Amino acid sequence: VRGWVKPGQVTPHYWTAAEMLLLQLEMLAFVDETDPAKPRWVLGAGVPPSWLDSPLDVKRVGASRGRVDWSWDPSTKRVKATILGETAEVVLGPSFPKDAQLDLSFPP
């Protein structure tokens, strides 16, 4: 009964809720470790094209190899990313324009 004798609604089980949150976070940033010798950060892999019509600002998304903040400016077609963690290749998701610029920083 999840803490209620007569719940007014049925909410997702905590496990399901956690999986949904993790999926949403991976839409914004994750580390592709299919080749463990060459991991790479992927930014915005699940961002739909319609979201790129407006500025985006993503803060403190944790991944297996650190944390990332990134922002998108549609007027300049520029992504600025700060990665606190392991230095690796960084790629943008498929919805971003092919000519999008990527400004990276890896502070200590």
pLDDT digit string (tens) for 36-86? 899 999 999 999 999 999 999 999 999 989 999 999 999 999 999 999 988
Confidence bin at 4 (pLDDT 50/70/90): low
Query: Taking the model in full, what pTM does it have?
Result: 0.82
Question: In whole angstroms, what is the distance from residue 32 CA to residue 63 CA?
Answer: 10
Question: In whole angstroms, what is the distance from residue 37 CA to residue 56 CA?
Answer: 31
